[in-house]
Structure 1
Amino acid sequence: MTESEFLALAEATLNDIEAALERASSDSDLDVECSRSGNVMEIEFVDNGSKIIVNSQEPMQEIWVAARSGGFHYRHEGGVWKNTRDGSELFAALSKVVSEQSGTPVILDARRQ
C-alpha cells in the first residue's frame, strides 16, 4: 500500500472509531469524549478519567492502541485491521478494552453511516 493510501485508510478508520463510540454512547451508559490531534485520537472516559489512545503509525503502516490493559498494533490485511500478535480484529479488540476500561459493556462496529 502506498503512503497516501495508508494515510487515507488510517484517517477513515479513526473516523469510524469515533462514529462507533458516538453510537455506543447514545445506545448505552458509556460516557466518553473523543478528541483528535492529527493522527492521534484520545478517548477519555468521563466517569473515571482514564484514557485510551489510538493513533496511526505511518512508517510501520499500523494503527496502535494504548489502553490500561496494554499496547496493541494492528496491520491492515484482507480488508480488516488485524493485531500483529494474535490476529484479533481492531473493532472487536476496542470493544473489549472500552468495555473493560469503562465498566460498561459495549460492542463497537466499523459500519459507516
Structure 2
Amino acid sequence: MTDTEFMDRAEALLKAVETCCDHINDESDADVDNQRMGGMVTLTFANKTQIIINLQKPLHEVWMAAKSGGYHFHWVQDQWMDTKGQGEFFEGLTRNASTQAGMALIFQA
C-alpha cells in the first residue's frame, strides 16, 4: 500500500468514527464527545474515560488505546484488522466503547 492509499483509507476510518459519534449522540442517551486533532480522534465518555484512535503513518497502521488495552490495525482484504488476530477495527471499537460507556453503542464503517 502506498502512503497515499494509507492516508485515504485511514482518513475514511476517522471520518466514519466521527459520523458514528454524531449518530450515537443524536439517537441515544449516550454522551460521546469526539475531538479531532490531525490524525487523532479522542472519544470521551460521560464517565470521563477515553478511547484514543491515531494514525501511525510510517507503519501504515491505525492504533486504538482503550481502557482494556492498546490495539494495532493494518489494512487486510478491504478492512482494518487487528495485527494480533483480535478482529476488525469497528468490532473492537464497538466492544470497547460499549464497555466504557456502560451501554450498547454501535460503530461501523
Q: TM-score surpassing 0.5?
A: yes
Stretches of structure 2 that go unaligned for 5 or more consecutive residues are none
Tell me the secondary structure at the aligned position of residue 85 of structure 1.
coil
Tell me the secondary structure at the aligned position of residue 19 of structure 1.
helix
Structure-1-length-normalised TM-score: 0.91
1:107 is the counterpart of 2:106? yes
Check 1:100–1:87 CA distance in 2 against 1; reply closer, same or farther (3 A cut): closer
Tell me the secondary structure at the aligned position of residue 97 of structure 1.
helix
Counterparts of 2:37 and 2:107, CA distance in 1? 22
Structure-2-length-normalised TM-score: 0.95
1:9-88 matches, cutoff 5 A: 9-45=9-45, 47-88=46-87
Counterparts of 2:21 and 2:5, CA distance in 1? 24
Residue identity matched to 1:14: L
How far has the Cα of 1:30 moved from its partner? Answer: 1.5
How far has the Cα of 1:27 moved from its partner? Answer: 2.3
